[in-house]
Chain A
Amino acid sequence: MKRAFLIAIFYTAVSVLLSFPISYVGSKLIFVLALFALGLIFFFIFRRDLSTYQFAATIFVLLSLIIAYSTFQARSYIYYTFWFNSLLVLFLISLISCVLMFKPKITLHYFSYILIHGGLLVVALGFIVNALRARKLYFTLYRGQPTNRAFVMRNVEITNREVEVPFTLELLDFKVKYYNEPELIFVYKKFGKKYRAIQSYPVKVGSKIKLPGLSFSVKGMYNREIFTVEKKIGVVKIASREFLLEEGKVFEWNGKRYVFLEGIKVPEHFLLLRRADNSSDIYVISPGLRLVIDNMLVKILKFYPNFRFDVDRGIALSDGDEPKNPVIEVSVFYKGRTYSQYLFSNKTGFSHPLTIGDMTIDYLYRPDSTIEVIEPDSIYMERVKFEGEPIITVQFNGGDTARLEIGGDPYYVKDFALLFDRNPKQEKGYESIVRFVYAGKIEETIIKVNKPYKFMGYKFYQSDYDPQNPDFSGIMAVKEPGENVIYVGLFITFVGVIINFIYRRKQWS
């Protein structure tokens, strides 16, 4: 044991010393030659020692300790250093010398041992071939931009070096697929001051949920509202050209502004819609109107020329008809929820626009606008469907019932809280639809995770994507000439282990 340990330490010391000049030179050829030479020298000098069980055990422990140490660093590069690879070589020459020591016998025992060790040698051979000859490229693809350039990868890192490939690759489409998001009832319980999640339950009418101190059943589940609204689109002629106008939406052409809106002659009330991408639109409105704006149903409820909120009675009213403080009340139905608000035209500290997701809606009262109201030649109807979020009712053991809305406030009962919500969004798959063009030949295919595509000796992998940019996909191309050698080696080892099972069964029974 001691001798094996001393040889391993001696070898490690030599390889660590050698690694300084080798990393200084930085040549791959010298790196490989030095590994080979060092292994060969030790193989011939210490062949007998290397083939012992003691030596095998020593190298296993040594490698284990080093690898274990490496995992305690956030990012470790030791796997590519000269000294670490020379230890892998030591493992290999120990394996070779022990295979050479086996005396051939026609027994199951011998067969299993030679297959297991020989199989591992073949696997090692495959890895060596890969280390010397493998090529890894990384394609940064943008939709509709064919490329024949790729970045060279070293191990798992993408380098700055770009190369040209003899084919072009184009991203036709990129899709991220998501799982369904079923509605769930989340149960929380108070521990100390905090509510902690206990479990979520799928919603099934009639199902009973029992926990110590809480028991309830799902009584009913219904969608709050489902309805379709017709959006009016008018065909108008301006200076003998035809345009399609949405009802209420202000249209600008040749420095003039137009709108069509039934039952209005002089535009006074305006809604200003701002979207997340900074685009905005102006709409002409009037009290009592229903408008479809993007995916929202906007209802204009009531106009207050001189708005005042009577705190005592809890109602809004108008002091006279003079538009001193014009306010309009709107309600917006968006993604199953209704948002209502008083919108002020006079911008004071009180007033703020209605915010829905990353959109804002603001109100302006301008009786002196220059917008021209025009009559459309004809009107198309476009149907827009609105679907309300589901609501459930639950009944507790004592007979009390509660209504829970998706994304609504939690319902507190004793030390528990119930929340009705959807399962979070989870990615199901990433798919790149790509086109290869090589010497006039065209191949189109889908590359998915776990489904690489083979083309010109390379395997193409779905490797990266950008949640911010749906037009991007990272595709890795790998050519590993040792791939099949590794498979053969793994299979031989597999067979060896099976034969060893059979041998042991015979021996033990």
Chain B
Amino acid sequence: MELIFYRFIAQGPVFYLSALTFFIGGIFYFVYFKSRPFLRLADFFFVLAFALVTYYIVEKWVKTGEPPFKTMFESLVYLVWNFSLVYLVLEKSEKIQFAGGFVSFLNAFILFISGIYSDIIQVNLRPSLQSIWFIPHVVFYFAGYGFLFLGFLMSVFYLFFPERKYLGEAHWSGQRWRDFDEFSYRAILFGFSFLTFGLIVGAVWAKVAWGSPWSWDPKENWALITWFVYLTYLHLRYVRGWRGKKAALISIAGFIVVIVTYMGVNYLPSAQGALHSYQ
């Protein structure tokens, strides 16, 4: 814990202040449940934190001249950026302020624990990553993860508040998305579309780098499993009796599979000598 703390602080003030700002924003989002005016304050901190993370990523990119998605640590920071961007885009248009606290705390948490993976040495772009497909591949996938995360969050909300009316009361009134099931579906449809783009770009890239669009590599396999799970979710929506609670459970399972694909694959026995894993 102490080691994580030191590595976290060692990333510099922009980095640790962004985590702190997310944390403060998160507190205000929860205070806002009780008192409406706090929303603006919470939004202010969230946007500030997002700006700091953006600055951190851009500065690193400019300094090293390499896209900062090369290592587990860098990708975690970029994940936070995506969670924040998707939330900010949807907060106003879809009125999902009630999720702000959860997103903020999670972002602060991810930034803090990313210290476990922090890069002690300077990691350079490996030969296989030196491709024009690298950036779109990562951008599509992480945008997808951002949407799928919100879909997952809404599914969890649905399990706790399945009644549509609940959110129509008191200070949560005026929000368009009271139907968590429907919102979750839309977020997943977007997220899934981005996954599909990522998969397409990945196949084209794999052909250029390794000679075949598909090699049954563990990361590829788990990306396919993720894709299948969300395909299941999308197809079952047309089947009577598979919306609501069951759909929410598939969405939650889907996000767990996303986490396995993203982080767990490195620990699989088949990942030894695999093509994809982070260092």
Residues of A with Cβ closer than 8 Å to B? 1, 53-54, 56-57, 60-61, 63-64, 67-68, 70-76, 79, 127, 130, 136, 156, 179, 182, 184, 186-187, 189, 191, 196-200, 202, 211-212, 423-424, 426-430, 448-450, 452, 459, 461, 463, 476, 478, 480, 483, 486-487, 490, 493-494, 497, 500-501, 504, 508
Contacts and interface: CB of A to CB of B under 8 A. Distances in A.
Contacts of B216: 70, 76, 79, 156
A480 B203 CA distance: 14
B6 A211 contact: yes
Contacts of A497: 193, 196-197
Given A71-B218, A191-B3, A423 B128 contact: no
Interface of B: 2-3, 6-7, 9-11, 118, 120-124, 126-128, 130-131, 186, 189-190, 193, 196-197, 200, 203-204, 207-216, 218, 221-222, 224-225, 228-229, 231-232, 235-236, 238-239, 265, 268-270, 272
A72 B268 contact: yes
A73 B271 CA distance: 9
Contacts of A508: 186
A71 B223 CA distance: 12
Contacts of B131: 450
Contacts of B221: 67-68, 70-71
B124 A72 contact: no
Given A74-B272, A199-B10, A423 B196 contact: no
Chain A at the B interface: mostly helix, strand, loop or mixed? mixed
Nearest to B10: A199
A211 B2 CA distance: 13
A56 B235 contact: yes
Contacts of A463: 211
Nearest to B271: A71
Nearest to A75: B270
A199 B118 CA distance: 8
Contacts of A56: 231-232, 235
A452 B208 contact: yes
B121 A450 contact: no
Given A64-B229, A184-B122, A200-B121, A486 B10 contact: no
Given A74-B269, A130-B212, 4 more contacts: A54-B239, A79-B216, A187-B10, A494-B197
A490 B203 contact: yes
B270 A72 contact: yes
- In this complex, the member of A60, A76, A429 whose beta carbon has the largest number of chain B beta carbons within 10 angstroms is A60
B122 A490 contact: no
B9 A64 contact: no
- In this complex, the member of B186, B208, B228 whose beta carbon has the largest number of chain A beta carbons within 10 angstroms is B228
A486 B202 CA distance: 13
B209 A426 contact: no
Contacts of B228: 60-61, 63-64
21 contacts: A56-B231, A63-B224, A63-B228, A64-B228, A64-B232, A67-B224, A76-B270, A79-B216, A182-B122, A191-B2, A191-B3, A199-B118, A428-B124, A450-B127, A450-B128, A450-B208, A459-B211, A463-B211, A486-B213, A487-B204, A497-B197
